[in-house]
Chain A
Amino acid sequence: MIVCVAVVGHQNNPLYIQSFTEADDALKLHHIVHCSLDVVDERVNNPKKSGPMLNETFLGMLYPIENYKVYGYLTNTKVKFILVTTDLDVKDADVRNFFRRFHSAYVDAVSNPFHVPGKKITSRTFAERVSTIVKSFGFSSAA
């Protein structure tokens, strides 16, 4: 199950962050997302470690923490997508697919002429689309 997704701008400014849990642990998840930004920087600035996936947008699993796994994705425009999941055996292909759909939702949201670049995404349509994608991720990995 995906518990948190986040969009972080090129200056590490939060653009969108949403958790999907019943429990009141939003702060903890935000903290995990925050920590993952350093890992993204490290991956990007030390390309030796990332080896064959040099310059790919999908960064793979960033790090495991407690019961969570954190995945990252960095677009050409230096916007980071972070995904926190509780599933322990996640297929890379599923995560890639998730990020691809998430990216197109993001692109549609920022193409809105009323969206101010660099500001938080407040679009309700975007939020709905994200929660649909998040729900379908749970299904595809269960199936």
Chain B
Amino acid sequence: MVREVSESCVDSLMTEMVACYCNRFYANKPELAARRIEAIGYQVGQQLSERYTMERPRFGDHLEAIKFICKDFWSEVFKKQIDNLKTNHRGTFVLQDNKFPWLARMSVDPSADNVSSVEDYSAPTAESKAAQAMSMHLYFPCGIIRGALSNLGIPCAVSADISSLPACSFVVRIKA
């Protein structure tokens, strides 16, 4: 029996989790909220990597493991593959997703834009607020990648960049 998960439920759960941690549990401490969300992602990543690597041979090197994350792991979780993978061959990998599903339904609040255009001094805050809200949603997938890789025996640090909205890239730095 193949068990499936409703995509919209996961989307809503994700939004609600981020909102809950940012606005309720750690309302004035975004760093703590970020760390908690990342930790949840870490555990999810560990468990998913255990499941998705079940019927495959062990990985020979780091690149193989990263390729697994880009292809099989990403298609199991998001039903698509990573669009672009770059590496400097010295332990840094950039995984670019041109249409990251968890950002696909996100937009900058237009009312906030209007307000900011009227009152000049609040312009940077509206934009930076939007950027901060978006980056909060990326701590969870960062944690998933870090959890999956460290469970495969590759300790690393993962950060995320938002270039233009539904696209985003994850930077994986492998600890020597």
Q: Do A and B come from one complex?
A: yes
* CA–CA, A57 and B58, complex, Å: 6
Contact of B51 among A56, A57, A100, A111 (CB under 8 A): A111
Interface residues on B, range: 10 to 19
- Lowest 10 CB-CB distances: which A-B pairs, in order? A76-B53, A55-B57, A55-B58, A111-B47, A77-B151, A107-B51, A107-B50, A76-B58, A56-B57, A78-B153
Instruction: Please give, as numbers and ranges, the residues of chain B lying within 8 Å of A117 by CB-CB distance.
Output: 43, 46, 151
Decide if A10 touches B153 in the complex (CB within 8 Å). Answer: yes
Contact of A75 among B43, B46, B47, B53 (CB under 8 A): B53
In the complex, what's the smallest C-beta–C-beta distance from B87 to chain A, in angstroms? 21
State which residues 95-143 of A face B: CB under 8 Å.
Answer: 100, 103-104, 106-107, 110-111, 113, 117
Residue A74 CB within 8 A of the other chain: yes
Give the total of A residues in contact with B, Cβ under 8 Å. 19
Interface contact tally, CB-CB below 8 A? 45
Contact of A74 among B46, B54, B56, B58 (CB under 8 A): B58
Sampled A-B contacts (22; CB under 8 Å): A10-B153, A54-B57, A55-B57, A55-B59, A55-B60, A56-B57, A57-B56, A57-B58, A75-B53, A75-B54, A76-B53, A76-B56, A76-B58, A76-B152, A77-B49, A77-B50, A77-B53, A104-B54, A106-B50, A107-B51, A111-B50, A117-B151
Q: Which residue of A lies closest to B68 (CB)?
A: A76
Interface of A is mostly: loop
The chain B residues found within 8 Å of chain A, CB to CB, are 43, 46-47, 49-51, 53-60, 151-153
In the complex, what's the smallest C-beta–C-beta distance from B48 to chain A, in angstroms? 8
* CA–CA, A89 and B36, complex, Å: 52
List 10 other contacts, CB 8 Å, given A76-B49, A77-B53, A117-B43: A55-B58, A55-B59, A55-B60, A75-B54, A75-B58, A77-B49, A104-B54, A110-B50, A111-B50, A117-B46
In the complex, what's the smallest C-beta–C-beta distance from B51 to chain A, in angstroms? 5
* CA–CA, A55 and B61, complex, Å: 11
Instruction: Please give, as numbers and ranges, the residues of chain A lying within 8 Å of B57 by CB-CB distance.
Output: 54-57
In the complex, what's the smallest C-beta–C-beta distance from A75 to chain B, in angstroms? 7
* CA–CA, A56 and B55, complex, Å: 10
In the complex, what's the smallest C-beta–C-beta distance from B164 to chain A, in angstroms? 35
Instruction: Please give, as numbers and ranges, the residues of chain A lying within 8 Å of B59 by CB-CB distance.
Output: 55, 76
* CA–CA, A97 and B93, complex, Å: 37
Knowing A77-B151, A77-B152, say if A103 contacts B54 (CB, 8 Å).
yes
